[in-house]
Amino acid sequence: MKKIVMVTGATSGIGEACARAFVGAGYRVIITGRNTRRLEDLCRELSDNPDDVLALNFDVQDREVCSKAVESLPAAWREIDVLVNNAGLALGLEPEYEGNPDDWAVMIDTNIKGLLNMTRFIVPGMIERGRGHVINMGSVAGDAAYAGGNVYCATKSAVKALTDGLRIDVASTPLRVTLIKPGLVETNFSRVRFHGDNDRADNVYRGITPLTAEDIADTVLYAAQAPAHVQIAEVLVLATHQANGSIIYRQ
């Protein structure tokens, strides 16, 4: 029987790449996101077989909506084997004392509360069935703050703490918990961070060959396909010329 994977934030970037990687590896995949049209298009792109891909349109920030979305799953899709908590974003790069509180709220509600919401609604079923794997998308930004990163870095530090905490909580079970920490990945991440300013976004990747979304998806799939007795607890993935969150050599 094919395993079922749920990928949050699957309509672009790393989430989309993860969905493609899992479908390609023979998994059944539930893709989630807020962009209904993109979800529908991605379903068609991923497979002609409706038994392979299912789209759920909801916002992980809203606990009640998350609950209803999970409850709405058809019986054939309910036994989720792998949860990829990918939904997340950065907004702004201002000093903390000049930051936009609305941006702070969105980052906290998505990166932290959204991850908690999905964990709360999916993991109990894994515990009951005695199998499952939670893969959380962290960041090198969670290891140490960088200039202007303040709140985003804090949310990714929280993701690391929550991932470590969950791993402790399920240590007596067969469940596995993994934290993936990407460095510089060229997706629409920076365009979102700079509210659509393409010039500022493009400048982030100038002078260096950054990671791709597919690079991270490969790592996620590797962790998911490790033997049952192997738990890939944490992986830091950086571009070759990136040393950490703030040291990058540009040519």
Distance CA 29, CA 23 (A): 6
Q: Look up residue 146 and give its DSSP letter.
A: -
Give the number of C-alpha atoms closer than 13 A to the C-alpha of residue 37, restricted to the C-beta side. 0
Q: Per-residue b/e over 157-194, b at no fewer than 16 CB within 10 Å?
A: bbbbebbeebbeebeeeebbbbbbbbbbbbbebbeebb
Residue closest to 246 by CA, chosen among 164, 166, 145: 145
Q: Is 71 exposed, middle or buried (0-12, 13-18, 19+ CB in 10 A)?
A: exposed
CB 250 within 8 A of CB 210: no
Annotated catalytic residue within 152, 205, 222, 249: 152
CA torsion sign for 132, 219, 15, 177 is: positive
CB 84 within 8 A of CB 7: yes
Backbone angles phi, psi at 239, to 5 degrees: -65, 155
Specify whether 152 is catalytic: yes
Distance CA 52, CA 73 (A): 14
Tokens 């998308």 — which residue?
137
Residues annotated as catalytic are 152
